[in-house]
Structure 1
Amino acid sequence: MVPDINIWAVLVATVASMLVGMAWYAPQTFGGVWMRLARVPSEQGGSIAGPLIVSAIATFITAWVLAGSAFIAQEFYGGSFLANTLITAVILWAGFTLARFFTHDAFESRPAALTLLNSAHELVSVLAMGLVIGLFGV
């Protein structure tokens, strides 16, 4: 079975996730806390174009995988595509993102608050993607 993936849902989900990231890490929200915990200098200079392009590509891949996984979940469980997509998003986040964050951050001796902040961002981001993909339907 090849998942039926709606490219428009994936593209809009990518944009939604990038907007979540912009809001989450803005100085008015968690940006200052993140910079302090991650030990990022406030005046690091240089262009952020490269990291934004990498982030957009990674986010597109995540949205694509979520859309494919949601399609498979829908085929298996039936019922509400939106509910299946959101549940799939949380399961994928917990099993891959959260577990890896905890592992990497433990070995890198990163502050627990940083792990929590970044993990929570990833959860909100994947839920935003799931909402978009789920509303588009199959």
Structure 2
Amino acid sequence: MNVPLNFVAIAVATLAAMIIGYLWYGPLFGKYWRRLSGLDSKPAPKPQIIYPVTLVASFATALSLAWVSSATGVNPVAVAAILWLGFSASRALIVTLFEARPLRLFMINTGHNLAVALAMAVTIGLMGA
């Protein structure tokens, strides 16, 4: 199936995800998130590993969102919301429950995923998949 994609929109959506992640897990919720997840007593992961992997994973998310939106003709915001609820939030809730993690940690993490999904969707929607 030949699906037209706008790689500039995908790149901008990827950049938006990186910026949101920096803000979300930094100045907005960083200290609280580290404490809830038990990371406050552990050394921070190496940025030379974490950031390239995060960039590739964010690109994969934006590419998938653009591809599904373009292939189906469904509005990217609707696709993002459905995929977030059906896969991201629901799966994260199960992990949170089985790991006996705080519900607040679930809300921070899935809130981030929703913010990223919607930012990507709006970007892709405005710029064209």
Runs of 4+ in 1 over 6 A off after TM superposition: none
C-alpha distance in 1 between matches for 2:117 and 2:86: 13
Letter in 1 for 2:16: A
Which of 104, 108, 114 matches 1:113?
104
Q: CA RMSD in A?
A: 1.5
Residue 45 of structure 1: CA displacement? 4.8
Q: Map Cα deviations across residues 27-82 of structure 1 (whole Å, 9 max, x no partner).
A: x31001100100102661562221111111111001000001111231xx5xxxxx
Distance 1:42 1:93, change over 3 A: same
- Range 58-67 or range 40-49, more displaced: 40-49
**Count of aligned residue pairs for this structure pair:** 129
Gapped runs of 5+ residues in structure 1? Answer: 78-83
Question: Does 2:120 correspond to 1:129?
Answer: yes
Query: Counterpart in 1 of 2:14?
Result: 14
Distance 1:46 1:61, change over 3 A: closer
Letter in 2 for 1:73: T
Question: Does 2:60 correspond to 1:61?
Answer: yes
Percent of paired sites with the same residue: 36
TM-score, normalised to structure 2's length? Answer: 0.92
Residue 128 of structure 1: CA displacement? 0.6
Distance 1:94 1:50, change over 3 A: same
Gapped runs of 5+ residues in structure 2? Answer: none
Preserved contact between residue 5 and residue 67 of structure 1 (Cα < 8 Å) = yes
Distance 1:113 1:63, change over 3 A: same
1:25 aligns to what SS in structure 2?
helix
Letter in 2 for 1:128: A
C-alpha distance in 2 between matches for 1:131 and 1:124: 11
Letter in 1 for 2:39: V
